[in-house]
């Protein structure tokens, strides 16, 4: 198997090419630039993307600025990147490619409902098809919470992942807007068709970036054993428009120590402790003083996605790009003893969530990390009066 190798001279030249391309003003100049750097463009590899100044963690460019040119550069580098797209053998990679194909087949099937601009007649069918696109969320979650974390610690920059996550958020938001506009009694046909075009461009662009950059990297720098584990994690969300799959057999038995968890308030063996933590009606996640995720309780009814791949991940990479600065500010305040908690509340699909970040400190007030707690308080908000043990429960 060919190994992606970092080539310092090639990176230097591509950096120069990208800066000059951004600054060029006319088509002829851009064509000349392309031809001048054709050798480097033809030989670029997926891993090179993560070494480029443009996508560095230390870049002065905002995610929004990088995002604007992401499609342009992927198209420019297409010739070099496509050489590394393989006929993958591992079931995870094969299924991720199939998932993209199924998504694009679905989008192509919907074209007949709006291509002739007869949206009024086809409104119901188009709305049904677009509602089915909400299932793309399964794919976005898999990349954000399983695929990205397992590449982040092997690459010099996280910026390309942040760009992709931002594109996911754009697609989520745009689809919601299109569906809302299409539900109106008096629909603006031209606006909806334009928005659908933007949505298709987003989804096809996301798929292209995955297939040219993310999947070849997964194939090359993640072991087969690890890919097996990731595949099983992905099955928590399943795959879009693909029948339910069975997990790869793995020895995942939990080993419990004979030691006890003892405190002045009691003791539990470690199996009891795990069962208790997984049963309490709240989601908890602990992030240590190095801003690294160390633990989450494994509840069936989680409010936010959590998978084993999150363990060891920097907490800032667990949030959408637009939230990163807020999270970092809270943690900085905790670390500097400016506050001890921060709370938020949001409503998602009729569920009212109350989220609290607590600073965790030891007896000497040393900062040890952050505990994130989230709870569904929808029913709690509706409670009134009393329900006592001796009066409200049938025996």
Convert 20-84 into a string of H (helix), E (strand) and C (coil): HHHHCCCHHHHHHHHHHCHHHHHHCCHHHHHHCHHHCCCCCCCHHHHHHHHHHHHHHCHHHHHHH
The DSSP element (H or E) to which 359 belongs, if any, is strand 351-361
Residue 287 CB neighbour total at 10 angstroms: 26
Domains 1-249 and 260-382 fall in the same CATH topology = no
Average pLDDT of the segment spanning 233-243 = 95
Lowest mean pLDDT among 157-171, 218-232, 243-257, 301-315: 243-257
User: Encoding tokens for residue 335?
Assistant: 């670390």
How far apart CA 2 and CA 43 sit, in angstroms, is: 13
What average pLDDT does the chain have? 91
Q: Answer whether residue 314 shows pLDDT above 60.
A: yes
Where do the structural domains in the chain lie, given as residue ranges? 1-249, 260-382
CA 358 to chain centre: 24
Q: Answer whether residue 254 shows pLDDT above 70.
A: no
Please give the pLDDT value at position 393.
61
The predicted model scores a pTM of 0.85
Tens digit of pLDDT for each residue in 10-66? 999 999 999 999 888 888 998 999 999 999 999 999 999 999 999 998 888 888 888
How far apart CA 153 and CA 250 sit, in angstroms, is: 24
Q: Is 197 left (phi over 0), alpha (psi -120 to 50) or beta?
A: alpha
Half-sphere exposure of 15 (CA within 13 A, CB side): 15
Per-state percent for the chain, helix, strand, coil, to nearest 5: 55, 10, 30
Structurally, at CATH architecture level, domain 260-382 sits in 2-Layer Sandwich (3.30)
Q: Answer whether residue 252 shows pLDDT above 60.
A: no
Average pLDDT of the segment spanning 121-127 = 92
Pick 17 or 388 by higher pLDDT.
Answer: 17
Please give the pLDDT value at position 24.
87
- Pairing status of strand 293-296 against strand 341-348: unpaired
Highest-pLDDT range among 204-218, 294-308, 320-334: 204-218
Could you tell me if 205 and 167 are in contact, meaning their C-beta atoms sit under 8 angstroms apart?
Answer: yes
Highest-pLDDT range among 115-129, 139-153, 292-306: 139-153
Please give the pLDDT value at position 251.
61
The DSSP element (H or E) to which 358 belongs, if any, is strand 351-361
User: Encoding tokens for residue 41?
Assistant: 């463009």
Please give the pLDDT value at position 326.
93
Average pLDDT of the segment spanning 72-96 = 93
How far apart CA 48 and CA 156 sit, in angstroms, is: 10
Q: Answer whether residue 223 shows pLDDT above 60.
A: yes
Q: Answer whether residue 258 shows pLDDT above 50.
A: yes
Tens digit of pLDDT for each residue in 85-112? 989 999 999 999 999 999 999 999 999 9
How far apart CA 267 and CA 276 sit, in angstroms, is: 12
How far apart CA 319 and CA 321 sit, in angstroms, is: 6
Tens digit of pLDDT for each residue in 324-336? 899 999 999 999 9
**pLDDT tier at 1, thresholds 50, 70, 90:** very low
Please give the pLDDT value at position 110.
95
Please give the pLDDT value at position 118.
75
Please give the pLDDT value at position 209.
97
Helix (H, G, I), strand (E, B) or coil at 190: helix
Which CATH class name applies to 1-249? mainly alpha
Q: Answer whether residue 273 shows pLDDT above 50.
A: yes
Average pLDDT of the segment spanning 228-236 = 95
Please give the pLDDT value at position 115.
81
């Amino acid at each position: 198997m060919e190994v992606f190798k970092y080539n310092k001279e090639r990176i230097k030249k591509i950096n120069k090419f990208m800066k000059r391309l951004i600054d060029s003003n006319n088509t002829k100049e851009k064509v000349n630039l392309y031809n001048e750097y054709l050798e480097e463009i033809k030989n670029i590899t997926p891993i090179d993307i993560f070494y480029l100044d443009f996508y560095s963690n230390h870049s002065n460019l905002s995610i929004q600025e990088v995002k604007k040119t992401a499609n342009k550069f992927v198209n420019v580098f297409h010739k070099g990147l496509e050489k590394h797209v393989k006929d993958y053998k591992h079931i995870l990679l094969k299924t991720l490619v199939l998932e993209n194909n199924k998504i694009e087949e679905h989008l192509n099937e919907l074209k007949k409902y709006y291509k002739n601009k007869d949206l009024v007649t086809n409104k119901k069918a188009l709305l049904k098809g677009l509602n089915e696109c909400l299932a793309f969320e399964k794919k976005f979650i898999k990349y954000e919470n399983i695929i990205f974390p397992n590449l982040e610690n092997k690459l010099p920059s996280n910026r390309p992942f942040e760009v992709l996550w931002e594109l996911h958020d754009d697609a989520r938001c745009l689809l919601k807007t299109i569906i809302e506009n299409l539900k109106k009694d008096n629909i603006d046909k031209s606006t909806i068709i334009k928005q659908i075009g933007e949505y298709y461009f987003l989804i096809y662009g996301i798929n292209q970036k995955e297939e040219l950059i993310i999947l070849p990297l997964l194939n090359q720098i993640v072991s087969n054993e690890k890919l097996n584990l990731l595949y099983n994690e992905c099955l928590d969300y399943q795959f879009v428009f693909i029948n339910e799959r069975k997990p790869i057999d793995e020895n995942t038995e939990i080993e419990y120590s004979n030691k006890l968890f003892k405190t002045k308030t009691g003791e539990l063996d470690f199996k009891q402790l795990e069962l208790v933590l997984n049963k309490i009606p709240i989601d908890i996640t602990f992030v240590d003083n190095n801003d690294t995720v160390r633990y989450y309780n494994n509840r069936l009814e989680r409010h936010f996605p959590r998978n084993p791949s999150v363990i060891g991940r920097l907490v800032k990479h667990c949030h959408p790009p637009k939230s990163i600065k807020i999270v970092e500010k809270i943690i900085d305040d905790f670390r500097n003893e400016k506050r001890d908690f921060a709370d938020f509340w949001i409503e998602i699909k009729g569920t009212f969530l109350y989220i609290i970040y607590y600073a965790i400190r030891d007896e000497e007030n040393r900062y040890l990390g952050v505990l994130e707690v989230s709870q569904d308080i929808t029913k709690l908000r509706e409670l009134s009066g009393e329900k006592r043990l001796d009066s409200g429960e049938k025996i």
